[in-house]
């Protein structure tokens, strides 16, 4: 059994992506011309690789779950023995490879990954800020999106799914969970298939940013 937990992998991936984002900020600040363009291209390629690996990890998790299901079904149909219906233990490695191959053929495009899209958006905003001289431009990454993916409205009470890190307006996702005890992550393309109310946590950092933006606007709603 691997000592490298899924939580540890997620933390390291998040740290890596955040480091790439910080490097892009430094490249824009301290490089110019062709040098800046080259550095940003390398960083966008790195982010694409991270998103590819993140997608592949999700595919592997889904494949493992399906293999476990197949093994349980074979065990149950063995009428009291641990072998499958054909009298042989199934080759776990072959089953896993078959599942991976099936899912990999329809794997999401890394450039459509939420974190890649936000990296590109953040880079573009930084470039505009550099041109305009706006040093106070606040950027948001995949963990701090301000628009609820369900209602497409600005969030005021954000909550985050612990397993995948995607953020939603609390009222909108709880409305879905009231209809069903567990749901798939509402964000298109996410492989997280089972979400319960207990899997949600308050997104305090984003809440502070939203409150700050609300006060700065001087209105009752964020425009």
84 closest CA partner among 94, 214, 142: 94
The verdict on 44 and 123 lying in the same domain is yes
Q: For residue 41, give both structure tokens.
A: 């291209």
The verdict on 75 and 172 lying in the same domain is no
Q: Give pTM, 2 decimals.
A: 0.53
Final residue belonging to a domain, choices 107, 132, 157: 132
Final residue belonging to a domain, choices 98, 132, 166: 132
The verdict on 104 and 149 lying in the same domain is no
The verdict on 56 and 14 lying in the same domain is yes
Which CATH number do you get for residue 198?
A: 3.30.40.10
Tens digit of each residue's pLDDT (9 = 90 or more) over 135-169:
444 444 434 468 888 998 889 999 989 888 889 99
Tens digit of each residue's pLDDT (9 = 90 or more) over 162-205:
888 889 999 999 999 999 888 999 987 777 888 999 999 988 77
Q: For residue 9, give both structure tokens.
A: 């992998």
- Tell me which residue range forms the domain holding 150: 145-217
Structural domain count, the chain: 2
The verdict on 171 and 95 lying in the same domain is no
């Amino acid at each position: 059994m691997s000592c490298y937990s899924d939580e540890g992998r997620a933390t390291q991936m998040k740290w890596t992506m955040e480091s790439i984002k910080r490097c892009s900020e430094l490249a824009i600040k301290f490089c110019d011309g062709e040098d800046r363009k080259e550095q940003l291209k390398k960083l966008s390629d790195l982010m694409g690789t991270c998103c590819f690996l993140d997608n592949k990890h999700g595919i592997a998790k889904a494949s493992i779950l399906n293999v476990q299901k197949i093994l349980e079904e074979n065990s149950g149909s063995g009428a009291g023995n641990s072998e499958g219906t054909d009298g042989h233990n199934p080759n776990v490695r072959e089953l896993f490879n078959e599942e991976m191959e099936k899912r990999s053929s329809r794997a999401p495009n890394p450039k459509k990954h939420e974190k890649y899209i936000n990296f590109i958006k953040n880079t573009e905003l930084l470039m505009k800020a550099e041109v305009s001289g706006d040093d106070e431009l606040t950027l948001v990454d995949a963990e701090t999106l301000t628009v609820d993916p369900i209602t497409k409205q600005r969030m005021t009470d954000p909550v985050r799914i612990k397993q995948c890190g995607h953020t939603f307006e609390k009222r909108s996702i709880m409305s879905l969970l009231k209809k069903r005890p567990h749901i798939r992550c509402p964000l298109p393309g996410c492989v997280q298939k089972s979400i319960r109310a207990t899997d949600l946590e308050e997104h305090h950092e984003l809440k502070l940013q939203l409150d700050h933006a609300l006060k700065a606007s001087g209105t009752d709603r964020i425009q």
